[in-house]
Amino acid sequence: MDPSGQDRRVISLPVDPGLTCLRCLSPRRLRFEVEYGLERGTSANSFLFDAGSNTTGQNIPPVLVHPPGASFAAPYLEQLAALVPADAALKVVVGHVNPNRVALLRELASRWPALMLVASNAGARLIEELWSQQKPATAPAAAPAATAGDGASPSPSAGEAASPPLPAIDVVKQEACRNLAGGHRLCLIPVPTPRWPGALIAFEEQTGLLMSGKFFAAHLCSEAFAEANRDSTEEDRRYFYDCLMAPMARQVESVVDRLDDLPIRTIAPGHGPAIAESWRSLLADYRRWGAAQGRANLSVALLYASAYGNTAAIADALAQGVARTGVRVESLNCEFAPAEQLIATIRACDALLIGSPTLGGHAPTPIVSALGSVLAEGDRDKPVGVFGSFGWSGEAIDLLETKLRDGGFSFAFEPIRVKFSPDLATLRTLDETGTALGRRLISEQRRSQRRTTAGGLSDSLSNPAVQALGRVVGSLCVVTARKGEGDTSLSGGMVASWVSQASFSPPGFTVAVAKDRSVENLLHVGDRFALNVLAAGREREPMKRFLRPFPPGADRFADLATETSPGGQPLLPEALAWLEACVKQRMECGDHWVIYAQVEHGGLLDAKATTAVHQRRSGGNY
C-alpha cells in the first residue's frame, strides 16, 4: 500500500492535436479490493479536449473525460491547472461515479467555479446523493447514536471544509453527440450495469477513440499509451474481467454488442494501456469469457446496495469465489434494478446472497424492498447468505439475518460483517466463502443426478476414452505458495498429480490447477511457488492434510513444520524433492489452468526414495 501517495504521479500523453491523455500512475495497489489482486500497480486514464471553436465557429470550452478518484488529487490537479485556466468553463464527463471520484469533483469545482458536469441519468442521481457526504478515514472513539454504513457519515464533521455548491449537471439520458473544438465530435453512451449504474462511455469520431471507462480495463502501471501487443496485457485484462465483469456477464455482453456498431480504431479504458492493434480480439475475448457463465446451469443471485463501495467490494469478492467454480452469478444493484427483474432473479436462482450497508442505523429502502421480495418469492429449500459493511454497529445486517431466519431460510454461511472496508485477509476469506458455496451447489446437483440415475453407470465412467485417459500416470506432489509479507501475506497449498516436465532449457514444468482451488489466485505470471515431490510410502500424511477441505480463510500451514526455499516458499521436509519456480505462462484448459513455470532453485531431500505416483481408473475425476 502507498498511504502517503508519494509514489503517485501524473504524466501527459499526446493522443491527437487538441487531445491529451492524463495518466495517473501508481506502482502499488491503491486499495484492498479483489480487482487489485495481481499487485502490478494501477493507472487511471482521463482525456482532455482543448478549448477552441467548432466547425461552425462557436467557442467551445475545454472538456475533461473520465477524471480519476481523489487518490491522485494532488498531482492530477497540478497537471490540469497547467493546462486549463481557473476561469475556464470546464466541462467534465463523469463516466464512473463513486465517493472517491466525487471527492475529486468537489476539488475541481473549488478550483474551476464555472465547472459543469456531464453524467448519465443514474450518474447524476448518484452525484447528487454523494456531493455533501464525507467519508471518515477511521471510526471515531465514541460511536454516535446513528451509525453510517459503508464507513460513511452523512455530513461533514465539525471543522471540515464545506463542499462547494453542486455544479450544474448536463444529464445524458440516451446516446448523444456533441461537437468539440478542433473538429472533434464526442458521442456519449450510457451503459448502466449493476456494479456501475451510472456508467457513461465516450467515443470520439475523428480519432476512433473509445474511452471505455471500466470496460476492457486492467490494473497495470504502464507509461506507454498503448500496449505493446495482446500477450503483454491479456492476463491482466482477463483477471479484471473475472473480478468485476463475470458477475454481470449478460449486461456486459449487451454493451459489447452495442460497441460493435462503432468505427473504433483504439480502445482507451479507464485503467491500463490503450488497445490499438487487437481491440477486435479483446471484444471477442469478452464474449468468450462470458459464454461460460451463460452455459452454467446453476446460478447464485447477488443482491446488494452500496453507499460508499465497501459493500460492493464484499460482493465482488464473493462473486469471484462463486464464479471460479463455474456457477453463474446474477448480480443486481437493488437501487436500480426493476422490480420484475428482481423477482425473476429470486425465483430462478439456486442460492441467494443479499448485502447492505447501514445508513443512519437502518438498511437503505431499496434493500428493505428487496428483502420483502425475497421473503415473498424465495424458495426456503435454497441457501441464503447475508453480508454488509458498516461504520459502527451494522443494524442492517442484523435486520437481514433476523428476517430471513424467522422466514425459515437456511444459511449457507454465518452473516459476514465487515467494519469499513475489507482488508486483504478478509478478501481471501470472502473469495473462499463464495467458492465453498459454489462447490456445495455443484455437489448437491450431482447427488440429485445420481439419485435419478441410480443403478447405472454414468457416461463418463463407461466411456472407453475416459477410462484410457485415467491411465495417464502423474507424480504426486504438493504445490505450496506464499505471497506478500507480514499481515498482508497470503499462502496456500494443494495436492497436484497432473505435473510434467515441459522444457530442458530453461528447465521448466507444467502443473494443472483446477479453477476452484484457492491457491490458483497465487499462481499468476510472475508469482513464485514450490513443488514438493512426495516419496512413495510417505505420501499419506501430506495428502491427507492438503486434500481435506479447509474452512474459508484458514491457514493451510498452521501447526505444520515447514522449511523455507530461497524465495520464501514453504517446503515440506517429508518430501522426496522440491523445486522453486516462477510462473511464466498460463493457459486456460476447460475447468483447469495449466501453469508453465521455470525452475529457479531445487533440492533432493532423499536420494534413495522413489516418487509417489497416482494410479486412476478413470479420467473423469482425480
The Cα 381–Cα 152 span in angstroms is: 36
Residues 316 and 281 in one domain: no
Which position has the grid cell 443426478? 449
Q: Are residues 127 and 240 in the same domain?
A: yes
Residue 161 and residue 155: Cα distance in Å, rounded? 11
Band of pLDDT at residue 619, cut at 50, 70 and 90: confident
Average pLDDT, integer, range 410-439: 94
Lowest mean pLDDT among 30-34, 208-212, 370-374, 479-483: 30-34
DSSP character for 579? E
Q: What is the mean pLDDT of residues 586-597?
A: 95
CATH for 385: 3.40.50.360
The Cα–Cα gap between 517 and 176 comes to: 45
Q: What percent of the chain has pLDDT over 70?
A: 93
The edge-to-edge listing of strands for the beta sheet with 185-190 is 176-179, 185-190, 200-204, 209-213, 266-269
| 387 and 482 belong to one structural domain | no
CA-based torsion, 130, 132, 138, 143: positive or negative: negative
- Does residue 143 have a pLDDT over 90? no
Neighbour-count burial of 228, counting CB atoms closer than 10 A to its CB (0-12 exposed, 13-18 middle, 19+ buried): exposed
- What's the whole-number mean pLDDT along residues 61-87? 96
Domain assignment of residue 451, yes or no:
no
Rg of the chain over CA atoms, in angstroms? 26
DSSP 8-state secondary structure symbol assigned to residue 1: -
pLDDT of residue 159: 40
For the segment 21-37, the average pLDDT, to the nearest whole number, is 89
Q: How many domains, the chain?
A: 3
| CATH number reported for the structural domain that contains residue 581 in this entry | 2.30.110.10
298-339 residue pLDDT tens: 999 999 998 788 999 999 999 999 999 999 999 999 999 999
Do 307 and 257 belong to one domain? no
Residue 141 placed within a domain? no
* Percent of the chain that is helix, strand, coil (3-state, to 5): 30, 30, 40
Indicate the DSSP class of residue 225: S
The region of weakest confidence among 44-53, 140-149, 198-207 is: 140-149
**What CATH number has the domain bearing residue 275?**
3.60.15.10
- Is 90 exceeded by the pLDDT of residue 187? yes
Q: In the prediction, which pLDDT does 132 show?
A: 85
Output the nine-digit C-alpha cell for 59.
Answer: 467557442
pLDDT class for 459, splitting at 50, 70, 90? low
Same domain, 96 and 204: yes
Q: Single out the residue in 244, 264, 288 at which a domain terminates.
A: 288
The pLDDT of 70-94, averaged and rounded, is 96
Backbone angles phi, psi at 418, to 5 degrees: -120, 120
Report if residue 459 sits inside a domain: no
Same domain? 559 vs 527: yes
Residues 230-283: tens digit of each pLDDT: 889 999 999 999 999 999 999 999 999 999 889 999 999 999 999 998 999 999
What pLDDT sits at residue 461? 62
Q: Is residue 51 part of a domain?
A: yes
Select the more confidently predicted residue: 293 or 275.
Answer: 275
Query: Which residue, 97, 120, 113, 255, is CA-closest to 176?
Result: 120
Helix count and strand count (H, E) for the chain: 14, 30
Is position 470 within any domain? yes
Q: Please list the residues that pair with 579 across neighbouring strands.
A: 531, 602
Beta strands 328-333 and 299-304 are parallel
Residue 445 falls inside a structural domain: no
The pairing of strands 577-589 and 570-571 is unpaired
Cβ atoms 549, 517 nearer than 8 A = no
Using the predicted structure, report yes or no on whether residue 154 has a pLDDT greater than 70. Answer: no
**Is 313 found in the same domain as 425?**
yes
Same domain, 573 and 546: yes
Among 245, 261, 288, identify where a domain stops.
288
323 and 469 in a single domain? The answer is: no
Task: Identify whether residues 47 and 87 lie together within a single domain.
Answer: yes
Chain centre to alpha carbon of residue 533: 33
Q: Which of 152, 155, 100 is nearest to 359 (CA)?
A: 152
In this prediction, residue 146 carries a pLDDT of 33
Q: Which of 288, 312, 332 is the last residue of a domain?
A: 288
Domain, as residue range, for 357: 296-439
93 near 48, Cβ under 8 Å? Answer: no
| In-domain check, residue 61 | yes
What's the pLDDT score for residue 447? 86
Same domain, 121 and 258: yes
378 and 352 Cβ atoms separated by less than 8 Å: yes
CB contact at 8 A, 329 and 293 = yes
In three-state secondary structure terms, 20 is strand
pLDDT at position 136, please?
46
Round to whole Å and give the CA distance between 430 and 321.
7
Residue 52: CA count within 13 A, CB half-sphere: 15
Say if 80 falls within a structural domain: yes
Q: How high is the pLDDT of residue 485? A: 83
Same domain, 300 and 337: yes
Q: Give the per-residue pLDDT at 559.
A: 87
Query: Partners of 240 in the beta sheet?
Result: none
The mean pLDDT value for 537-548 works out to 93
Residue whose C-alpha is closest to residue 273's, from 205, 191, 216, 235: 216
